[in-house]
Amino acid sequence: MKPRTVDKIATGIIMAVAGFIILLLAGFLSYIIIRGFGHISFDFLTSPPQTFREGGGIGPQLFNSLFLLVLTMIITIPLGLGAGIYMSEYAKPGRLTDFIRLTVEVLSSFPSIVVGLFGLLVFVNVFEFGFSLFSGALALTVFNLPLMVRITEQGLRSVPREQKEASLALGISKWKTITSVMLPMAVPVILTGTILASGRVFGEAAALLFTAGMSSPRLDFTNWNPLDPTSPLNPFRPAETLAVHIWKINSEGVAPDAREIAAGASAVLVMTVLSFNLIARWLGRMVYRKFTSSR
């Protein structure tokens, strides 16, 4: 065959594959959203699930997912910032730093189910936090920390060196330079990354099965005392999240409308994660524009 013919055939195949991927992705996303959208209503988003009857909702699960995300971020952000600052500003090139880098890389590659098992053993059993939001948040922190460290490092490296030098040359200490000059400039990058990471945390289920648990006690949404076992704000109660709920009703759901609930819950989950993504993208673009227009 002539090279020209081969070239044409190959180009055709690649175009066809690209078209196929686009169709596949479009079909995939629209399937989830269209299939589930009909089931989403105010009632569905706020009422508790039913085990045997129709008409259950996902209210507590949605609340649990959001609350767990907040708890996780409260623990992850200070730790991630600290470790990221260390890696970018304090670590001296050498064996120890290479080793820490390897560690972070390995931790970020651990399967989330293994992270969940570790949480079961250490947070649930050894520290006796039980199946609780707190154990779940700690497991998600382990799962999320490497990403947070990488994001912080990237953010700090994006700060021009002259800015750091200008502050140091005024006789400002290194720590004050990092916190008052460099971090504010790194915020856009860190914020964008953190929102993306939040999406990942929001949809995670495998790390939570054996840490936050697969059930939710009856919650009294009028009780806002965090120490009360029926209060939604109590971090030491078990909590099934939205993602875990989807998994559970798919594998052992007995309610007659289990499929519909799974579809509706999936649509809610995907739309939340997509909006996190869009916000992060939009934020990134805004900030990029602001930086380039003001030199």
Interface of this chain with another protein, residues 125 to 154, rule: CB under 8 A: 125, 142, 145-146, 149
Tokens of 4: 């020209």
Q: Minimal distance in Å, beta carbon 231 to another protein?
A: 26
Phi, psi at residue 205, to the nearest 5°? -125, -40
Min. distance of Cβ 107 from another protein in angstroms?
A: 5
Q: Which two tokens stand for residue 72?
A: 């996780």
CA–CA distance, 211 with 13 (Å, rounded to integer): 47
Q: 47 in helix, strand or coil?
A: coil
Is 83 a residue that touches another protein (CB under 8 A)?
yes
Residue 236 CB, nearest approach to another protein (Å): 20
Which residue's CB is nearer to another protein, number 71 or number 147?
Answer: 147
Q: What is the DSSP string of 111-127?
A: -HHHHHHHHIIIIIIIS
Q: Which of 40, 66, 117, 283 binds another protein (CB under 8 A)?
A: 117
Q: Contact with another protein (CB under 8 A): which of 92, 128, 218, 292? A: 92
d(CA 291, CA 276): 22
- For tokens 């964008």, the residue is 192
Q: Which of residues 42-71 bind another protein (CB under 8 A)?
A: none
Stretch that binds another protein, among 42-50, 53-61, 168-176, 228-236 (CB under 8 A): 168-176
**CB 223, min distance to another protein, A:** 29
Candidate list 47, 55, 86, 231; residue touching another protein; CB under 8 A: 86
- Name the residue type at position 257: D
Could you tell me if 110 and 178 are in contact, meaning their C-beta atoms sit under 8 angstroms apart?
Answer: no
Question: How crowded is residue 60: how many other Cβ atoms within 10 Å of its Cβ?
Answer: 23
Q: Of the candidates 66, 172, 233, 287, which one interacts with another protein according to CB under 8 A?
A: 172
Q: How far is the CB of 111 from another protein (least distance, A)?
A: 3
Cβ distance to another protein smaller for residue 95 or 222: 95
Contact pattern from residue 262 through residue 281 relative to another protein, giving x for each residue in contact according to CB under 8 A and a dash for the rest: xx--x--xx--xx-xx---x
DSSP assigned state of 181: I
Q: Which stretch, 42-50, 55-63, 92-100, 223-231, contacts another protein (CB under 8 A)?
A: 92-100
Q: Give the residue, chosen from 23, 28, 30, 224, that forms a contact with another protein under the rule CB under 8 A.
A: 28
Q: What are phi and psi of 131, to 5 degrees?
A: -70, 105
Q: Which of 85, 190, 212, 239 binds another protein (CB under 8 A)?
A: 85
Instruction: Say how many residues make up the chain.
Output: 295
Alpha carbon distance 57, 133 (integer Å)? 20
Nearest Cα neighbor of 134 from 197, 61, 208, 77 is 208
**Closer residue to another protein, CB minimum distance, 40 or 273:** 273
